[in-house]
Structure 1
């Protein structure tokens, strides 16, 4: 297996450049970027670690802008999860393995033209949307881009808030996002200005009322990323509302990341 791995061009060994811990379980890390790696905003790559003599891979969305010289990722330590328990311990002395061919369903090309883009996510599901928010094409395609992020506790919003602060300093993207980008941050386990899960916020009309905007209509587009249950509930609600699931070969109204549904069934 090792000989095959060493001979394969689809893998790269990359150095960890920085690690930042936000809570006991949430952390981000940045790695070197192979010159040959090209990706679309919203795509993911497979990250590999050698654990107990075995090479194990998991899917991780790329948070970085497409023009960045580094790769940034956002992760949670899953309770009793073999992979994330080891990943949580990485330092700048660590190197990880990546597959250099990105893929994923959360790309703008999978959606029909529209007026508003809702990025619906929970927890670390914000990761692919960071790259999308750093992409000027997102703001060219839509009049409004609305991030709806739900976490359990307010401290779990720190990564997103940090990334948005970084984005506002980028002269490359700031003019495009101005007057178009909006956030709706909700917390479920403690008092916060906005509370409640995404499906309830949408179904009850709370999110529309709080944003002081017009109700959902046929020109709205949606991207969804989060836990398996959240994806199931939100996509079912969107179907009930008459929206159609899209793909790059058949652009429609909404897309979600299918890779993570399969990954949630495994041991993380």
Structure 2
């Protein structure tokens, strides 16, 4: 490490344990979990690298369950990206910097009680929801948890499909998720059983029709994560049909990660 660079007490090093590449543009990685590091499902943490002699940090949602002894993250490889161009080259000989305090607005405590929880996401926006659906408390709060994930191509669903299979092998989680967790996976390019963007799926009524479910009502709650434009579009749509944005100090109908929307 550059002698001129020193970590503050708010940061620590975490050793990289595993890296998996799913497509040319998508990969996940696991690190050791710092001692006494706590987080709520849906929160993110700042992770960093030393790049060209400087600390560079980015916000990454935590995919891990709160009870896991490792941390897992899911990332896109941005072409010539100032951060991911280096992050994608990490190995099990590498370490990354992790801020020791997590944060975020995408948490269940910011929602009022309801019957159905819709998790609406695109691409790597699935990351915080993997943590949320791995938490028994999510299923205790809701009768149904409906995860809607849209990607461009079916290959981009590999990571999520893998994580769900792994999660449902855990007897403790399977017990809670059984008959409550519903998955709706859609693509916008290429062939797949379901297709279309989330806003269109909601506006057209196709989502409800495909799920063979009852129409949206006041007992439905929503969490949104994905590209900036997708978040803005879905938030505006939910507002237009009468839903209110929540916060930890003012729980309401929907939340999204404000840190990912400038």
Q: Same fold (TM over 0.5)?
A: yes
Compute the TM-score of the two structures, normalised by the length of structure 1: 0.95
Look up the match of 1:260: 260
CA root-mean-square deviation: 1.1
Q: Separation in 2 of the partners of 1:215 and 1:109?
A: 24
Q: Separation in 2 of the partners of 1:202 and 1:81?
A: 33
Q: Separation in 2 of the partners of 1:164 and 1:64?
A: 12
Q: Separation in 2 of the partners of 1:95 and 1:187?
A: 35
Look up the match of 1:266: none
Structure 1 gaps, min length 5: 263-268
Compute the TM-score of the two structures, normalised by the length of structure 2: 0.98
Look up the match of 2:30: 30
Q: Contact 1:106 / 1:256 at 8 angstroms: preserved in 2?
A: yes
Look up the match of 2:135: 135
Look up the match of 1:179: 179
Q: Separation in 1 of the partners of 2:189 and 2:50?
A: 36
Look up the match of 1:215: 215
What secondary structure does 1:42 align onto? coil
Structure 2 gaps, min length 5: none
Deviations 1:40-98, CA, capped at 9 Å, x for gaps? 00000000011111101000000000000000000001122110111111111111001
Shift of 1:2: 6.1
What secondary structure does 1:192 align onto? coil
Q: Separation in 2 of the partners of 1:179 and 1:153?
A: 28
Q: Provide runs of 4+ in structure 1 moved above 2 Å.
A: 1-6
Q: Separation in 1 of the partners of 2:260 and 2:152?
A: 19
Shift of 1:35: 1.1
Shift of 1:175: 0.6
Look up the match of 1:5: 6
In the TM superposition, 1:8-87 aligns within 5 A as 8-87=8-87
What secondary structure does 2:83 align onto? helix
